[in-house]
Amino acid sequence: MEDDILRQLKSILLEEESQKRAVLEKEIMALKNEISPKQISLRLEPMVSQKVEEIKSNMSALSGEALGVAIRAQIRNNKEDIIDALYPIMGNLIQKFIQAELEKLADNINKQIDDTLSWQSIKREFLGLFGIKQNNQLMTAAMKPQIEEGMVIYQNSGLLIGHYTSKGTLDQDMIAGMLTAIKSFVEDAFQQKGGNLDMIQYGTLKIIIQNSYKYYIVAIVSGAVDTNYKFKLLRYLSLFAERHLSKLQEENLSEGTVSALLDKHIKEFDPDL
Amino acid sequence: MQSISKKVVLVGNFGVGKTSLTRRFVFQKFADEYLTTLGVKIDKKIMSLPDLQVNLIIWDIAGEVSQTKVPKSYYLGANGIIYVFDLTRPSTFKHISEDLDYIQQLLPNIPYILAGNKKDLLSEDELKNTISGLPLPCEYLTSAKTGECVEEIFQDLTKKMTNRSA
């Protein structure tokens, strides 16, 4: 009985709130329906399509020459930014190369300085007395020419008959063939009377060629090769040819024998090898 | 085992498949571009005979319509010749006799081999017709594509160059 009275009293007092709550619930349901993925996609699609069309038409306005001009202007106006962007790639490569070269040079110089009690050191001191700076002497010694490969090749066929190598990385048979083809090509192309190809320069390497009898001798030299060194080496190779190659056919020397003779002579020419 | 080197020159018209034959036979180190710049490319292959190891230094010469246009110096000192022609193009075997005469003047008494290449492109009947129309008998019909007879031409030439019976 008391419960019924209380329920009636509650409904009279909260009638207005109950109506408001019912309205709110209706509104929430409507909103929920409106923000469902299906409804959002229906509303957004036309807007996105319109934006894409706008971007497309702007891009075509910038295409071709206009785009090129825009890029050029960007580069011109933002040099610093572009250098900043490229430096990590280019800079590292250049830095690595210079570093490797300097390390090689430093190693050579250190090796010579460490050798303080050697004959070379005494020689440097002695030359120093005549005004030749030790630095210059060390630099010259560090860049000293070194024979990396030596080959005795038939002039006509390009076949290898003897070789010397300090590293053994090249296929000397194929190098001999290609060198002969290059030599023939140059000599055929220019046809100078008595002309012979006597040197090819490639990077830090110089390929020095001494023609002799039916053969030619090749020395591949690294380091700083000056005219003096070149002529001294050519004279030495010529001497080798006179001593051994002139008798090659009569003595029927094998490739191994010619290689041993070449090795001996190259080491005689440069005792540091 | 004794080891000797022999120079082999590969000749023939442009596009007959000389470079493809060499590529089938050897492991290449130099790029084919040398053919267009220098007109020649060198390859190497070691052939083993029972008592002898032969280093074949192969000069792959850029194709010309006539062999007289190839620099003479490229032929010098050659120990053997492989003349390649295209079985599908009569223009590449029309002048075989003249070309071989010219080469034999430059290099008398050296062995040579005639190789008709691109066999895979012809049917049996077409092949019979082509062979009957060749100016000289051809020992080897090859295909750089399938590898047919490629090894055999180099083996045979090696034996001829070293005076071993074929």
The model carries a pTM of 0.63
Across chain A, mean pLDDT equals 79
- B121's CB contacts (< 8 A; 6+ apart) are B87, B88
Confidence of residue A113 (pLDDT cuts 50, 70, 90): low
Burial class (CB in 10 A: 0-12, 13-18, 19+), B146: exposed
- Residues on chain B touching A154 (C-beta within 8 angstroms): 77
As a whole number, mean pLDDT of residues B96-123 equals 92
**Residue A263 token pair:** 């090795």
The confidence score (pLDDT) of residue A89 equals 67
Q: A75 or B156: which carries more pLDDT confidence?
A: B156
Across chain B, mean pLDDT equals 87
Q: A123 or A265: which carries more pLDDT confidence?
A: A265
The confidence score (pLDDT) of residue A65 equals 65
| Pairing mode of beta strands B2-11, A205-212 | unpaired
Q: B62 or A65: which carries more pLDDT confidence?
A: B62
Query: Minimum mean pLDDT among A11-20, A41-50, A67-76: which range?
Result: A67-76
Q: Which amino acid is it at B45?
A: K
Asked casually if ipTM beats, i.e. exceeds, 0.90, the reply is no
As a whole number, mean pLDDT of residues B41-65 equals 87
pLDDT at A122 over 80: no
Q: B39 or B165: which carries more pLDDT confidence?
A: B39
Contact A181 B7 (CB under 8 A): no
Give the whole-number percent of chain B exceeding pLDDT 90: 48
Interface test with A, best of B9, B10, B32, B42 (most A CBs within 10 A): B42
Which of B3, B42, B71 is opposite residue A177, by nearest beta carbon?
B42
Instruction: Find the distance separating the first CA and the last CA of chain B, reported in whole Å.
Output: 20
Contact A187 B39 (CB under 8 A): no
pLDDT (tens digit, 9 = 90+) per residue, A127-171?
Answer: 676 666 666 666 666 678 889 999 999 988 999 989 998 877 678
